[in-house]
Amino acid sequence: MDETGGQAMRFVKMHGAGNDYVYVDCFAERQPDDPAALATRIADRHRGVGGDGLVLVLPSTRAAARMRMFNADGSESEMCGNGVRCVAHLVVAHGHAQAGAVPIETGRGVLTVDVRRLTPRLSQVRVNMGEPLLEAGQVPVLAGAGRVVDADCGAIVREPWWDEAGLDPRMTCVSMGNPHAIFFCRDVAAVPLERIGPTIERHPLFPRRVNAHFVELISRQRVRMRTWERGSGITQACGTGASAVCVAGVLSQRTDRCIVAELPGGELELEWSASGEVFMTGPAEEVFEGTWPG
């Protein structure tokens, strides 16, 4: 019990390439009554634990565990690539599954996650992210029928810095179970993400909002990217976004099917396999444990 008489909740702070969330092992802890409200409080970087959101690790009848993730604004998202790596690490570290191939239930379905323990607090994790959804209605984006590949994005925003940053006036849209809009540019550091991100996220073209990614080509095998995540804002990394960038690079003939994505929080390895599935490899690391008042 905490000092208020409520039942304190244990949590683990974890990150995947800097994309950090507060994780609650609901095999051992009671599931929060209102996880959306809890997410806004616990993710607050000044008054809470701090993070890009809240992830609940729940028992599942279909897999080793089920993941529910909530953004920092309390909205629930279908999928988080960096998050699912951390969930798989936690499931193994807490003894709910053995290292190796671990099935995790997500809003995208059951994903196979391969966990290789490096230290007690760190794993290298490879995720089968599944096949991308490419039709406009599947993303969703209100851009007619068919795929949105190198489509004109002048309807979204055109300001002087658009050309200064060398932004291509075209976008490619991909769903990895959640929606992504990808924009290629000459200098990703010159993109004023804090200004353009909210505009794109909530543009009427995207009925379920969207994650926006800006990508600088280093070579056909390497890109540098920055992300504005739906519901969380600027983040250090986005696993589903990096997967979508890999797909967008191939569709637009800019990159090979295997790339390394450089993100502010680290690097992720991506492969869009010939079978159609996207594979993502990267770290999952525990930062600290703590308790949250009941």
Instruction: Show which residues are catalytic.
Output: 80, 238
CA–CA gap between residue 199 and residue 269 (Å, rounded): 29
With beta carbons less than 8 A apart as the criterion, state whether 172 and 251 touch: yes
CA–CA gap between residue 257 and residue 93 (Å, rounded): 32
CA–CA gap between residue 90 and residue 84 (Å, rounded): 10
CA–CA gap between residue 288 and residue 207 (Å, rounded): 37
CA–CA gap between residue 180 and residue 230 (Å, rounded): 9
Six token digits for residue 97: 């599954």
Supply φ then ψ for residue 190, to 5 degrees.
-85, -5
Six token digits for residue 24: 């609650």
